[in-house]
Structure 1
Amino acid sequence: MKLLDRYIGTTVLVGITLTLLILLVLVGFVTLMDELGDVGKGDYTTIDAFYYVLLALPRRAYEVFPMSVLLGSLMGLGGLANNSELVAMRAAGVSLARIIVSVLKAGVLATLMVLIIGEVVAPNTEQYAERMRASKMSQQITLKSKYGFWARDGSSFVNIRQILPGSQLKDIYIYEFSPDRKLEVSTHAGFAQYQDGSWLLRDINQTRFLDDHVESRTLEQATWDSLLNPNILNVVVVRPTMLPVWGLYQYIDFMQKNGQEVVVYEVAFWSKVIMPLVTLVMVFLAVPFVFGVLRSVGIGQRIFAGSLLGLAFFLMNKVLGHMAVVFSLNPLFAAALPTLVFLGLGFWFVRRVH
């Protein structure tokens, strides 16, 4: 039975790996075509576009992994079915449940693969890719540190302690220097909102350093014309898909303590938590399909059926995620429902096969 487990597992994993590579090539090509339209903005070159797409591939792999698992499992088991190997196994006394166990063992290895991609590789490469892209396009020196976001804006340096959704900033420091690098003006604003191509600062304390004295003043609000724009600052706003599970948990806790909306991040958190289960469900679903409705069809029909199922799961997952934000649904329910539906579908097909 160990030999059987190894043979079935290898077949399924090879199918999953090949399917994942093919999907990544397709997704990477589409992303590259989109990125080439931005070549020439600032210092962004064709080489930078290729590099950006390469760095973004781990996140893309994480997103398409459920579909890759389903299609790859269908392809691997379908090959065994076409060669009558599954029939021979059943004739030799191997039960359907035992074959499912062998396939699920391969699913465990696939789960480890997606955990490494989603928790270790993708968060780091995606954040680096976004910072590189923004820096090249804006021709600005940017830095994210534990003291907030730093950027060079002409002859000024800007420190933003907190970036909020909706093009809003809190706790902003602006240091303006003369051509000979002497500090001329130091400005602190409690809040900023991007409106009509410029920033509206509020609760302003400004200090001007003159040759023989220092002047201070307080303003209720003022306009700040800056090269910084929300597209650049969005790079450092934490995206749910760019954080590992523990990072999401910590960020959700931070936002709750500051009274901010966290539904989007909670949906992303639970989606990442149940991703191992999603992988196993997709592998499990392929078995009754191959033994049942897809037993005697060609590879093209298996790909078509698997693509439809994978697309249905992807759309259901996205729709429920957005509905959770709009209608304040339970994040765990929104993240888990597609997986539970497909798990129930798998058990229903197993019963039909029996």
Structure 2
Amino acid sequence: MRLTPRIHDIYVGRNVLATVLLVWLVLLGLDAILALSGEAKNIGVGSYTFGHALAWTAYTVPRRAYTLFPMAAVIGALMGLGQLAATSELTALRAVGVSRRRIAGSVAIALSLLTVLMVVNGETLAPWSQNRADALKTSAKYNTDMTMARYYGLWAREGDTFLNAQNGEELLDDEGRSRLVLNEVRLYTLDDAGRLATLTYAVTATHDQNGWVLGKVRRDVFGDRSVTRETAESEVWESNLDAAALASGLARPRNLSAGELKTSIDYRKRNGLDARDYEDTYWSRWFYPLNVLALCLAAVPFAFGSLRSGGMGKRLFLGMLFALGFLLLQMFFGRMAGALKVDYRIAYALPPIMMLAISGWLSRRRVG
């Protein structure tokens, strides 16, 4: 089989790309409209306006495009190939000697272009824009005396005190009440002249119904010509920082790049913290291209059988069935891996392997 592209490869690939882009645009538009309508409940909270909601939705579009692409790819591929099957063009290609494997390869190469684009987007633009969206919402909903940044962990300001935390998480106690735990916290306090007055380091900063408590505290007090160190196992921190606002500013695993996820995983394992959510997201990034291509290739046999005599509704139904079935299967294996502490690489490798095996079996039986 010749590996150089032929005119029929370009024709099949172009047709599939066109339908994938169309489906992708429709899904993305619907998702953005639903997200914007969901933000209506936040309008009027603090200084949050419709303009903020619109900007927040726009910032989240790259992340939504990344998430929706696998579903758009399989639905678009099935619709594109189904259209060629309905007009007997696939039959004509088979009659002149073009194999099913060659047609599947044309689909895979065409979708690989968009997949590479989405992988780059998932590591660059999507995390950056989602973080900007979260920072925009946080600064608008909560008091303006607090600012958020993400250059190194979490930053917040209260008057002349600046807080920096490496990371944090919200936890639930046995009674269902939430508490916020920040890790590796540094508090920088400035004097009236703008000079550093104290530097406080705490292993943890915990907020619950009773307020803030710092754990394993080390404080350096700077004088004109001296530095004094104070230590304490724990102490109450009198602060009005809103824990909900800080929780909103924490970087969620899905908003991190693969490199940042790996760093977070290593940090949590070194300190005995739960890293499963980060491992789940990390390995889902690595298996993202394989999942997209496996899902679309698994759907190719239907183009030579059941799609030949079906209309647009049937192709759309099969595409959605394939996409939802795969996503549910992947979610099931991911949740089971987290619960049973199985390697996430195994959990994310099984669904595409199963889909490709089913596809091969259907291809041999000549579905239709």
Q: TM-score, normalised by structure 1?
A: 0.88
Deviations along 1:25-54, one digit per CA (max 9) or x if unpaired, are 111111111112111222221111111111
Number of residue pairs matched by the alignment: 351
Q: TM-score, normalised by structure 2?
A: 0.85
Find out whether 1:144 has 2:150 as its counterpart: yes
* Stretch deviating more after TM superposition (229-238 or 278-287): 229-238
Between the aligned partners of 2:258 and 2:303, the Cα distance in structure 1 is 34
Find out whether 1:57 has 2:61 as its counterpart: yes
Between the aligned partners of 1:121 and 1:145, the Cα distance in structure 2 is 15
Find out whether 1:115 has 2:130 as its counterpart: no
Question: C-alpha displacement at 1:70, in angstroms?
Answer: 0.4
Partner of 2:176: none
Give the counterpart of 2:49 among 45, 51, 73: 45
Deviations along 1:271-294, one digit per CA (max 9) or x if unpaired, are 111211112112212321121222
Find out whether 1:260 has 2:273 as its counterpart: yes
Secondary structure class of the residue paired with 1:159: strand
Question: C-alpha displacement at 1:177, in angstroms?
Answer: 6.3
Between the aligned partners of 2:76 and 2:33, the Cα distance in structure 1 is 21
Cα distance change, pair 23–136 in 1 and its aligned pair in 2 (3 A): same
* Stretch deviating more after TM superposition (330-339 or 318-327): 318-327
Find out whether 1:127 has 2:123 as its counterpart: no
Partner of 2:359: 346
Find out whether 1:298 has 2:311 as its counterpart: yes
Between the aligned partners of 1:182 and 1:276, the Cα distance in structure 2 is 51
Give the superposed CA RMSD: 2.9
Contact kept? 1:156, 1:174, Cα under 8 Å: no
Contact kept? 2:154, 2:250, Cα under 8 Å: no
% identity of equivalent residues: 34
Contact kept? 1:157, 1:175, Cα under 8 Å: yes
Cα distance change, pair 239–173 in 1 and its aligned pair in 2 (3 A): closer
Partner of 1:198: 211
Find out whether 1:251 has 2:264 as its counterpart: yes
Between the aligned partners of 2:151 and 2:184, the Cα distance in structure 1 is 15
Between the aligned partners of 1:343 and 1:157, the Cα distance in structure 2 is 56
* Stretch deviating more after TM superposition (90-99 or 8-17): 90-99
Unpaired runs of 5+ residues, structure 2, are 171-179
Unpaired runs of 5+ residues, structure 1, are none
Contact kept? 1:263, 1:324, Cα under 8 Å: no
Deviations along 1:94-136, one digit per CA (max 9) or x if unpaired, are 2222222222221222322222221222121111211222122
Secondary structure class of the residue paired with 1:252: helix
Partner of 1:101: 105
Partner of 2:7: 3
Partner of 2:95: 91
Cα distance change, pair 308–171 in 1 and its aligned pair in 2 (3 A): same
Cα distance change, pair 205–111 in 1 and its aligned pair in 2 (3 A): closer
Contact kept? 2:162, 2:187, Cα under 8 Å: yes
Secondary structure class of the residue paired with 2:124: helix
Deviations along 1:232-277, one digit per CA (max 9) or x if unpaired, are 3334534332223333333323333333332222222221112111
Cα distance change, pair 272–185 in 1 and its aligned pair in 2 (3 A): closer
The one-letter amino acid paired with 1:152 is R
- Written as runs of structure 1 = structure 2, the 5 A alignment for 1:164-313 is 164-166=168-170, 167-175=180-188, 188-196=201-209, 198-204=211-217, 220-313=233-326
Cα distance change, pair 173–244 in 1 and its aligned pair in 2 (3 A): closer
Cα distance change, pair 208–107 in 1 and its aligned pair in 2 (3 A): closer
Between the aligned partners of 2:335 and 2:243, the Cα distance in structure 1 is 22
Contact kept? 1:161, 1:171, Cα under 8 Å: yes
